Amino acid sequence: MGRHTVEAAAKKPVRPLVISAIAAAAVIGVVSTGAYLWVGGHLNPLFASAEDGCETEDLVVVADISVAPVVEDLAEVFDKSRDGCVKTEVRAQEAADTAALIAGGGLNADIWIPDSSVWLDRAAATAQSLGRNAPQMKSKGSIATSPIVFAAAASQTEQIASEPVTWARVLGGSLQALLPDPEASAASLAGLLALKSKSSPDDPRQFAGAMIALGKTIPASTGAAFSSVSTMNQPTVVISSERLVAEYNLKNGSEPLSAAYPVDGSVALDYPYIALGELKGTRAKLIGAFEGTLRHNPKAFRSAGFRALDGTGELKIAGLSMTPPTPAAGLDGAAQVEILRQWGVLTLRSRMLAVIDVSGSMEEPADNGLRRIDVFQQAALGAMQKFSGEVEMGVWVFSTQRNGDLDYEDLVPIGPLADAGHTQQIAGVIASLPDRLGGATGLYDTTLAAVQRVRETYDPEKINSVLIITDGRNEDDNGIDLDTLLAELAKIAEENEPVPVIMIGFGPDTDMDAMQRIAKSTGGAAYSAFHPEDLGVVLVDALSQRSCRPDCG
């Protein structure tokens, strides 16, 4: 934690100064400098020298770690200009941690300088969720900005720039990107906002699919992402702020990163100056005076890699554009909070049992000429590539009398996709599906058994669910009926270990009414993919709508 501390002079009572008429002219001159304030017939030595008997005032500033070094340097300038009558302490702290402290009422400070105004919205929202009043925060405008850029290893720059560098390439998957966790990084969250602004307003799955892909590998920090980008198996960029790239390059001059500026525009972090608590009296004057020191020293910010409030300003740092990039759009705090909610849904760590219909009807042709099972294989392999390594997955297949008298067969137990051997085993099962076809659809017995299996190894730290893909309706006359299934699922749901069932009906023969009733009874959802090309996007829906089930619009 970075700190700047000036030792306080011994505190003394303020001595009223009697001013003679002869000295009045001299006093007026001193007053005009702002060093003394004429109050009630006396000089208030707020900013007088310690030798003249001032009482030292304390000022506590909490600044995001990306801006704290500059603030610390300017705090020294500020304190010296007050001749020892002010002691400014600067605490370097991640904005996410500060926002949490403010929301909980546990921060004792005068000023907060986060890296984005979105933290005000998040602190207020967190306070509300805790049943607390909204904290007193007054933004006095931004003191610097930093655009969101793509950071790339110098060795990969030429390949990455072989075509225009755009957000559209990230959306389409042709430019691989790393995104540090937006729960903790305002730069990442702002990057998601920029990404969404370039996605199709008519197809929300495009943005959801991009977030799922970004969530597959989430670096522990921006520094970790910067360190790993040169070792990726294909050209990769890190979505970051220009300021963070500048900081990295200033410390790693021998191997700097290159900042690529999206030609389709971007957004910028705004570094607001926020007064905490009530603004009145001496404290308000100190807060205003310190703000003035920050605003009147632009060179200190430029040398550290910050741009001016309007995005302009030349930077002389390796790897960065000297001239300003394309003007960045403003940040929408409410939109970012909503994106963060979506991100949280899409990247929830899950335990999922995938249950695949291998009844004989899966061999029938879909309307694109391929068999239904072929279409499912393609969609399943595509979906597998989007899952994070922290997801746990197992695979069953089902059809009547698949395993003796049972309608289901356990082929891969639930395990982490981070295990390469486990992932390869699942891929092998998916590849073998055409050879497993046969029998009728034993849907109800299989659904109950799958929910019971997930319950046996329930992990309260994860989302535990069952994903069932079928092209038909229950055809097992020797198994349980729908009412019995629903009654059994209701009993399980009462035990406070929810296992939502997500059902995807593929093709024209599915019993959507039964599927919807099953899904609703477990807090899950039912989807229909009428055409082969729908299956991939429905799988995205099944992942992206976890927070609204069973009433997703």
The residue-averaged pLDDT of 128-155 equals 90
* Weakest mean pLDDT among 14-28, 213-227, 288-302: 14-28
Residue 77 has pLDDT above 90, yes or no: yes
Nearest to 191 by CA among 94, 122, 265: 265
pLDDT digits over 262-319, tens only?
Answer: 998 889 999 999 999 888 888 899 999 999 999 999 999 999 999 999 888 899 999 9
- The predicted structure's pLDDT at residue 502: 87
Query: What's the sign of the alpha-carbon dihedral 539, 544, 549, 553?
Result: negative
Cα separation, 92 vs 506, whole angstroms: 54
User: CA angle, corner 356, sides to 350 and 357, nearest 5?
Assistant: 155
- The predicted structure's pLDDT at residue 53: 62
* 1 confidence band (pLDDT: 50, 70, 90): very low
* β strands within 81-235, DSSP E: 86-92, 111-113, 137-142, 146-153, 176-178
* Weakest mean pLDDT among 15-29, 361-375, 418-432, 433-447: 15-29
* Weakest mean pLDDT among 231-240, 378-387, 484-493, 500-509: 378-387
pLDDT digits over 345-359, tens only?
Answer: 777 678 889 999 999
- The predicted structure's pLDDT at residue 386: 63
Residue 396 has pLDDT above 50, yes or no: yes
Cα separation, 126 vs 103, whole angstroms: 6
- Amino acid identity, residue 115? D
Residue 11 has pLDDT above 50, yes or no: no
pLDDT digits over 487-529, tens only?
Answer: 999 988 777 788 989 888 887 888 989 999 998 899 888 887 7
Residue with tokens 């720059």: 157
Cis peptide preceding 550, ω within 30 of 0: yes
| CB distance 156 to 258 below 8 Å | no
Q: What does residue 413 show for φ and ψ, rounded to 5 degrees?
A: -70, 160
Q: What are 238's strand-pairing partners?
A: 151, 178
Greatest CA separation found in the chain?
Answer: 112
The residue-averaged pLDDT of 45-54 equals 51
Cα 220 vs. chain centroid, distance in angstroms? 12
- The predicted structure's pLDDT at residue 355: 94
* Weakest mean pLDDT among 199-208, 218-227, 246-255, 426-435: 199-208
Nearest to 465 by CA among 528, 549, 408: 549
The residue-averaged pLDDT of 457-464 equals 87
* Weakest mean pLDDT among 198-212, 321-335, 392-406, 476-490: 321-335
More confident residue, 14 or 64: 64
Average pLDDT value over all residues in the chain = 83
User: CA angle, corner 104, sides to 99 and 109, nearest 5?
Assistant: 60
Residue 422 has pLDDT above 50, yes or no: yes
- The predicted structure's pLDDT at residue 426: 93
Neighbours of 517 (CB within 10 A): 16
Which pTM does this prediction carry?
0.67
Nearest to 71 by CA among 376, 351, 293, 328: 293
For residue 167, give every residue at least 6 positions away whose Cβ sits within 8 Å of its Cβ, in sequence order, or none: 194, 195, 197, 198, 262, 264, 266
